[in-house]
Amino acid sequence: MRPLFLMPSAARADEGRVGENEKDRVLTVGSKPKLDLSVNAYADLQFAYFNYGENQNRANGSQKDSRLVFDTTRLVLELEAGLPEYGLEAEFEVEFEHGGAGAAMELEYEEFGEFDTDVEKAGEALVEELYLTKKLGRDVEVSVGRFYVAVGTLFADYLPTSYLATIRSEAETRIIPNTWNDMGMQLRWDTPWGVRLTGQVVNGLDSTGFNSNTWVATGLQQRFELVRASDLAGVLRADVRRFEGFNFGVSAYYGGTTRNRPKPDLVKQCDDANPNMVAPCGYISAPLFIADVHLSVNRNRWRAHAMVMYGHLGNAAAVSARNARLSNLLNVLRTPVSDNALSAWGELGYDIAPWLGLDGNHRLEPYVRIDYMDSQFKPRAELFDNPRFERTVYTVGTSYTLAGLAVLKLDFSQRRMGSSVFRPENALRMSTGFVY
């Protein structure tokens, strides 16, 4: 292949990046159509100090401790290839988490209150995005494949340069999957009124992964080779983009979770059941509804994010009762899942680089962040509303960004539980990474 000329790549959900254009190539091979090629990557490294023990299930919360944790959090490689003449674009993204792929031992404190070692995928190689997009005119495109589910802020702002703090919002990643990606079809329309509408139909979550601690965040289907899509979910998202530097909108998710369980084990009983049929009397539905309001600001020297998310799981009692009897081999927490969850977070930073005489390639942003999450928000009467699962995290720190490509961040956070009985947890984190 021989590069002929440079040309900007097609627009992405997260928009163009600094330095991206230079890497774009448009190629022709013999008499074949022009190929528009772009390679991107981003990475995130974490160095953290914690003053508390790992076991949060102790009386009065986690014990005092002093420990350091280093993590090659993620390395993500992206490849975009397009056939501009045909309005086609393909993208894939592979994420390497925690430095590799394989099995790792984990100490699980939450479920049994005792040391319990589980083998689960820790270092992971994941295909997070793999989709084909067809442009239908200038403002409409349809995609098929695996893509980010259009809920919350991480749908668009997942790069280490996209948010201010050293880690993604705990409020968001504790109750829904982190950079939630599923398979299905997506339709996107940039309306003439400056509103981008996104509609998705995707495979739903698997309710065997739901639990007290992380609500539905661990319901992402990752344990089996095939993704079950017997219960589908629909997503609608509207983002107002007409005001420069402001992006705000709403999203809503609704879908079933029962028929994606590995076994048909959440079924109705009836007298005249047909023994030759799976679930002859039907399934006990456990529909999941999530809605959020989100805001992103990047104007002049200010940057901010904010989000409020509410979720409701139907028939959570039935899910919990069945999950309590799941096999150990499924490697899920078997604690009861709440009917409702609530989370909210916001961060605000201001660039002081100009005060220090630094040019436009530098951003130095002191910031504050607050995360609030309650994975047992107003549960059913027979479920104990444990204050351990209501958490507020206060963070202050500084982010330094060079040319929109490299970041170095330092922050201090304190996590407080829903009751003063539990000891606050302090963390000092440094992170560094790049986006290219």
Partner 1 sequence: MSSRSLKLSLLVGGALLMGACGDDDDTNLESLDQQLVVNFADNLVVPTYNLLATRMIELDAAAQALRNAPSTTTLKGAQDAWFAARVPWEQSESFLFGPVDSNGWDPAMDSWPVNRTDLDAVLGNNDTLSQQYVSNLQETQKGFHTTEYLLFGEGQVKKPEEFNARQFEYLLALTAELKAVSGNLAASWTTGVNGQAPYRDTLATAGESGNTAYPTVEAGAQEMLGGILVILDEVANGKIADPYDAKDANLVESQFALNSLSDFTNNMRSVENVYLGHRPETAQKGLSMSDVVKERDAALDTRVKAEIAAAIAALGKVPEPFPVSIKDPASADEIEGAQAAIRKLHDTFQVDVKAIILP
- Applying CB under 8 A, the residues found at the interface with partner 1 are 57-61, 111-115, 212, 317, 320-321, 324-329, 334-336, 381-388, 419, 421-422
Neighbouring C-beta atoms of residue 192, cutoff 10 Å:
7
Best CA proximity match to 212, nearest among 342, 332, 333, 112: 333
Best CA proximity match to 206, nearest among 94, 323, 123: 323
Give the largest CA-CA distance in the chain.
80
- Sequence-distant (6+) residues with CB within 8 A of 236 are 150, 197, 198, 199, 200, 251, 252
Tell me whether residue 153 or residue 335 sits nearer to partner 1 (CB atom). Answer: 335
Task: State in angstroms the smallest separation of the CB of 112 from partner 1.
Answer: 4
Token pair in block for residue 76: 């993500």
Beta strands in 229-331 (DSSP E): 232-240, 246-255, 288-299, 302-313
Tell me whether residue 288 or residue 317 sits nearer to partner 1 (CB atom). Answer: 317
Answer yes or no: are the C-beta atoms of 389 and 418 closer than 8 Å.
yes
Distances in Å between the Cα of 115 and the Cα atoms of 63, 112, 321, 326, 363 are 15, 8, 24, 19, 45
Angle at 381 between CA 380 and CA 385, to 5 degrees: 75
Tell me whether residue 124 or residue 385 sits nearer to partner 1 (CB atom). Answer: 385
* CA–CA distance, 36 with 15 (Å, rounded to integer): 16
Answer yes or no: are the C-beta atoms of 175 and 390 closer than 8 Å.
no
Tell me whether residue 4 or residue 107 sits nearer to partner 1 (CB atom). Answer: 107
* CA–CA distance, 291 with 251 (Å, rounded to integer): 6
Tell me whether residue 106 or residue 190 sits nearer to partner 1 (CB atom). Answer: 106
Task: State in angstroms the smallest separation of the CB of 373 from partner 1.
Answer: 18
Tell me whether residue 5 or residue 384 sits nearer to partner 1 (CB atom). Answer: 384
Tell me whether residue 224 or residue 384 sits nearer to partner 1 (CB atom). Answer: 384
* CA–CA distance, 278 with 264 (Å, rounded to integer): 7
Best CA proximity match to 121, nearest among 140, 106, 143: 106
Answer yes or no: are the C-beta atoms of 24 and 36 closer than 8 Å.
yes
Best CA proximity match to 311, nearest among 405, 376, 394, 220: 376
* CA–CA distance, 95 with 98 (Å, rounded to integer): 10
Tell me whether residue 41 or residue 321 sits nearer to partner 1 (CB atom). Answer: 321
Tell me whether residue 144 or residue 318 sits nearer to partner 1 (CB atom). Answer: 318
Task: State in angstroms the smallest separation of the CB of 393 from partner 1.
Answer: 20
Tell me whether residue 101 or residue 107 sits nearer to partner 1 (CB atom). Answer: 107
Task: State in angstroms the smallest separation of the CB of 114 from partner 1.
Answer: 6
Task: State in angstroms the smallest separation of the CB of 269 from partner 1.
Answer: 9
Answer yes or no: are the C-beta atoms of 329 and 391 closer than 8 Å.
no
Task: State in angstroms the smallest separation of the CB of 392 from partner 1.
Answer: 18
Task: State in angstroms the smallest separation of the CB of 220 from partner 1.
Answer: 22
370 half-sphere exposure, CB direction, 13 A CA radius = 4
* CA–CA distance, 254 with 235 (Å, rounded to integer): 7
Tell me whether residue 327 or residue 361 sits nearer to partner 1 (CB atom). Answer: 327
Question: Could you give the 3-state DSSP secondary structure of residue 352?
Answer: coil
